[in-house]
Amino acid sequence: MKSPEENPLLKEVLHDERLAALRETSLNQGFDTIRRARRNRRVARVGTLALAPVLLLVVLTWRRPAQETASHAPTPGTQQRTVAATPSNNSVKIISDEELFALFPGRSLALIGRPGNQQLVELDRVGRRWPGRPSGVEN
């Protein structure tokens, strides 16, 4: 017998009023600790749930500018083209059909398709490069 908890004599000998008081106090303190731990756990869980969408949003917002920066980063081969394209990206000028034809002087051109979805076709090239398919620029 290593511990005397089931021996009435040892229990009587070793236990007193102070221990009885401690028994009650420690039980109540344990309950308080358990309640606090449970509350903390609940707060942590709710906090995590509430923070998850916010974190997701933050991550997505940070990644998008990073991707855009990466796609705009100049590479040696495309540098000139990017520079040339920049003005047209910033301001779009709407021109009439006549103005469009005027941009290609001396060429046989036609606008094919419904208004708003027309294609500019260079008639000279159609037969020469892609016999079955016209090459064009969307208007």
Partner 1 sequence: MFKARHSQRASVSGTAPAGVGELTRRLAGHDEEAFRTFHALYFDRLYHFLLVVTRGQEDEAREALQETLLRVARHARVFDDEDAFWCWLKVVARNAARDGGRKQRRYLTLLGRLALRWSTVEEPASEPAESNWQAMLTETLDELSPDERRLVEGKYLDGAATRELSSSTGLTERAVESRLLRLRRQLRERLLKKLNER
Establish if 138 lies at the interface with partner 1 (CB under 8 A): no
Shortest Å, Cβ 40 to partner 1: 10
Number of residues that bind partner 1 (CB under 8 A): 31
Establish if 45 lies at the interface with partner 1 (CB under 8 A): no
Q: 111 has which bridge partners?
A: 120
Shortest Å, Cβ 16 to partner 1: 8
Which of 135, 113, 114, 138 lies closest to 124 in space, CA to CA?
Answer: 135
Establish if 18 lies at the interface with partner 1 (CB under 8 A): yes
**Interface residue with partner 1, options 17, 30, 106, 108 (CB under 8 A):** 30
Which of 34, 10, 100 lies closest to 110 in space, CA to CA?
Answer: 100
Q: Which long-range contacts (CB under 8 A, 24 or more apart) does 105-111 make?
A: 111/139
